[in-house]
Structure 1
Amino acid sequence: MVSPAVIAHRGYAGVAPENTVAAAVAAADRDGTAMLEIDVQPAACGAPVVFHDERLEGTRDGRPITDSEGLIWETPLEDLESTRVLGTEESIPTLETLLEAVPETVGVNVELKNPGTTNLRFAESLPARARESRREVWDPFVERVVDGCDAFDGEILFSSFCEGALAAARDVAPDYAAGALVWDDLEAGLEIGRRYDCEAIHPPRNAIAGTPLETEPYYGLPADEPALDVVEVAHDEGRTVNVWTIDTWTQFDQLAAAGVDGIIADYPGVATSAAGR
Structure 2
Amino acid sequence: MMKKWAAGAGMAIMLLGGPLLQPTAADASAVKVENVAHRGASGYAPENTIAAFDKAVEMKADYIEIDVQQSKDGELVIIHDTTVDRTTDGSGKVKDLTYDELSRLDAGSWKGEEFTGEKIPTFDEILDRYRGKTGILIELKAPELYPGIEEKVAEELQERNMDKPQNEKIIVQSFNFDSMKKMDALLPKVPIGVLTSSILHTTDTALNEFSTYADYFNPNYGIVSKDLVANVHEKGMKIQSWTVRTQETADFLLEMGVDGIITDYPDYVDPRK
Q: TM-score, normalised by structure 2?
A: 0.78
1:23 aligns with 2:52: yes
Question: Which of 34, 39, 63 lines up with 1:10 in the alignment?
Answer: 39
Distance in 1 (alpha carbons) for counterparts of 2:209 and 2:218? 12
Question: In the alignment, what sits opposite 2:157?
Answer: 149
Structure 1 window deviating more from structure 2 (101-110 vs 43-52): it is: 101-110
Question: In the alignment, what sits opposite 1:194?
Answer: 211
Question: In the alignment, what sits opposite 2:4?
Answer: none
Q: State the 1:190 CA deviation.
A: 2.3
Alignment of 1:8-87 (within 5 A): 8-31=37-60, 33-58=61-86, 65-87=87-109
Distance in 2 (alpha carbons) for counterparts of 1:102 and 1:79? 25
Paired amino acid for 1:160 = S
User: Any idea what the Cα deviations from partners look like across 1:12-60, whole Å, max 9, x if unmatched?
Assistant: 21111111122112212223x11111100111122211011011113xx
Q: State the 1:96 CA deviation.
A: 0.3
Q: Which has the higher contact order (CA 8 A, sep 6+)?
A: 2
Paired amino acid for 1:5 = E
Paired amino acid for 1:164 = D
Question: In the alignment, what sits opposite 2:223?
Answer: 207
Distance in 1 (alpha carbons) for counterparts of 2:155 and 2:131? 18
* Cα pair 2:211 2:237 within 8 Å, conserved: no
Distance in 1 (alpha carbons) for counterparts of 2:134 and 2:194? 21
Distance in 2 (alpha carbons) for counterparts of 1:209 and 1:35? 23
Give the total of aligned pairs: 229
Paired amino acid for 2:141 = K
Distance in 2 (alpha carbons) for counterparts of 1:161 and 1:72? 18
Q: State the 1:154 CA deviation.
A: 2.1
Distance in 2 (alpha carbons) for counterparts of 1:192 and 1:57? 37
Secondary structure of 1:269 counterpart? helix
Question: In the alignment, what sits opposite 1:170?
Answer: 184
Cα RMSD (Å) of the superposition?
A: 1.9
Paired amino acid for 2:150 = V
- After TM superposition, what 4+ stretches of structure 1 lie above 3 angstroms from structure 2? none
- Name the one with the larger helix percent: 2
Secondary structure of 2:120 counterpart? coil
User: Where in structure 2 are there 5+ consecutive unaligned residues?
Assistant: 1-27, 110-115
Secondary structure of 1:252 counterpart? helix
User: Where in structure 1 are there 5+ consecutive unaligned residues?
Assistant: 59-64, 118-136, 211-228
